[in-house]
């Protein structure tokens, strides 16, 4: 039967599994604080609802990617510290102050603009210093330590922006070979020592991402930043999954909206990629690649219909896809179909879809979370 959602296709978010994952990560982190990474709408899972479960587990700091994401949380009632992991241009300094947000900085001029805005409002903000130990994205380069420390000292002298601490990000922590991760760790530690020797107080450090939490405890420092593992997906197939027990939080489901019996030789979908080899029964689902179901997955995709794995028939369309349900007895309009998830016997993971389409589970979850309505369950 049809579920009470906005449309007959939805992302089902299991908050009990999220709660389980948070507790598992906290146990692994051995007493360190958790910074709940809920950027990209909590990787497609819904940042506001996920923040509530984190809050119930004692998490006091959230991390997002953009100013807009931070504002969304504030306006939803979040009182916790919110770190913006991306850089915030000078022109938005007043907004940072208005919403009491924690920016990341790696430029004294940008930091001064934020401090000036805070002074104008009679407030003081905290900021994290970004250090680029090997990601090549944002942050001061340890290889240019003298210049970097000179600039950071300017930030330390600002009256209304205080240095909360420093952070960096690992690029290959999810790889089996941890050589480069160890190099990044060494650069991070050396830069911290250099800052301390130069008289710059760094009271707080955070470095560990999901893969680091699983396998590199030496970078736990003061707080760890779990992202994808919060949502029950492992960072890669190269990490030791025995290091952390997690459960998938997102399932993608839809109802059969139409059924038709077609004769041998009948074609289905754009490009006529499916030609019925025998009389067949075709079910239509109301979701497609605009909902995050990748079109390149068409040739490999299977879904679970009444306990039976059934292939997608033809190319996935923008808003719909078709399924060959010929082998499913008594299938009817309204039957629930699992696109990603498990019925207890059969399982389709985000990893499976990612592997077949040459991407990563992060992208699959984020894409599914954009247009589909979310149904929260416990």
Phi, psi of 66 (to 5 degrees): -135, 160
C-alpha–C-alpha distance, residues 231 and 248, integer Å: 6
C-alpha–C-alpha distance, residues 140 and 132, integer Å: 5
C-alpha–C-alpha distance, residues 291 and 250, integer Å: 14
User: Which of 3.40.50.150, 3.40.50.720, 3.30.540.10, 3.20.20.10 would CATH assign to domain 32-233?
Assistant: 3.20.20.10
The pLDDT value recorded for residue 3 is: 64
The pLDDT value recorded for residue 197 is: 98
C-alpha–C-alpha distance, residues 108 and 234, integer Å: 37
Q: The tokens of 89 are what?
A: 């241009």
Q: pLDDT at residue 156 above 70?
A: yes
Residues constituting the chain: 378
The pLDDT value recorded for residue 4 is: 62
**DSSP SS3 for 94:** helix
The bridge status of strand 336-342 relative to strand 321-324 is unpaired
Give residue limits of the domains in the chain: 32-233, 250-377
pLDDT digits (tens, 9 = 90+) for 325-344: 999 999 999 999 999 999 99
The pLDDT value recorded for residue 1 is: 57
Report the run of H or E that residue 86 belongs to, with start and end.
strand 81-87
Whether the full predicted model's pTM is greater than 0.85, yes or no, is yes
Nearest 5°: CA angle at 174, between 30 and 187?
75
Comparing 32-233 with 250-377, is the CATH topology the same?
A: no
Cβ atoms of 368 and 1 within 8 Å: the answer is no
Residues 149-167: what's their mean pLDDT? 98
Catalytic residues: 39, 270
Q: The tokens of 102 are what?
A: 């924690």
**What's the Rg (C-alpha) of the chain?**
24
* CA pseudo-torsion sign 217, 221, 226, 227: negative
Q: pLDDT at residue 2 above 70?
A: no
Q: Looking at the domain that runs over 250-377, which CATH code has it been given?
A: 2.40.37.10
Residues 237-241: what's their mean pLDDT? 98
Q: pLDDT at residue 188 above 90?
A: yes
């Amino acid at each position: 039967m049809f579920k009470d959602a906005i449309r007959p296709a939805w992302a089902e978010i299991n908050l009990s599994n999220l709660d389980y994952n948070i507790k598992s990560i906290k146990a692994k982190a051995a007493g360190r604080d958790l910074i709940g990474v809920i950027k990209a709408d909590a990787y497609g899972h819904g940042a506001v609802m996920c923040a509530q479960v984190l809050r119930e587990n004692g998490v006091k700091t959230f991390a997002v990617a953009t100013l807009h994401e931070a504002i969304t949380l504030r306006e939803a009632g979040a009182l916790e510290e919110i770190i913006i992991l991306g850089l915030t241009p000078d022109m938005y300094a007043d907004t940072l102050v208005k919403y009491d947000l924690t920016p990341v900085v790696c430029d004294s001029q940008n930091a001064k603009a934020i401090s000036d805005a805070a002074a104008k409002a009679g407030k003081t903000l905290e900021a994290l210093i970004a250090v680029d130990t090997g990601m090549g994205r944002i942050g001061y380069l340890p290889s240019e330590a003298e210049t970097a420390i000179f600039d950071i000292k300017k930030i330390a002298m600002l009256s209304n922006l205080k240095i909360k601490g420093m952070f960096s990000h690992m690029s290959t922590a999810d790889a089996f070979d941890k050589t480069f991760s160890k190099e990044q760790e060494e650069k991070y530690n050396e830069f911290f020592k250099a800052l301390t020797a130069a008289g710059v107080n760094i009271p707080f450090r955070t470095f560990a991402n999901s893969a680091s939490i699983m396998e590199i405890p030496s970078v736990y420092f003061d707080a760890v930043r779990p992202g994808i593992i919060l949502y029950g997906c492992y960072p890669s197939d190269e990490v030791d999954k025995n290091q952390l027990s997690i459960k998938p939080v997102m399932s993608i489901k839809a109802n059969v909206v139409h059924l038709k019996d077609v004769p041998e030789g009948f074609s289905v979908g754009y490009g006529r990629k499916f030609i019925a080899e025998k009389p067949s029964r075709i079910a239509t689902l109301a979701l497609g690649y605009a909902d995050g179901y990748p079109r390149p997955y068409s040739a490999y995709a299977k879904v679970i219909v009444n306990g039976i794995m059934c292939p997608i028939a033809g190319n996935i369309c923008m808003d719909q896809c078709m399924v060959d349900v010929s082998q499913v007895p008594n299938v009817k309009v309204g039957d629930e179909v699992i696109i990603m998830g498990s019925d207890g016997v059969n399982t389709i993971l985000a990893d499976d879809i990612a592997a077949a389409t040459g991407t990563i589970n992060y992208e699959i979850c984020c894409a599914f979370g954009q247009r589909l309505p979310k149904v929260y369950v416990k």
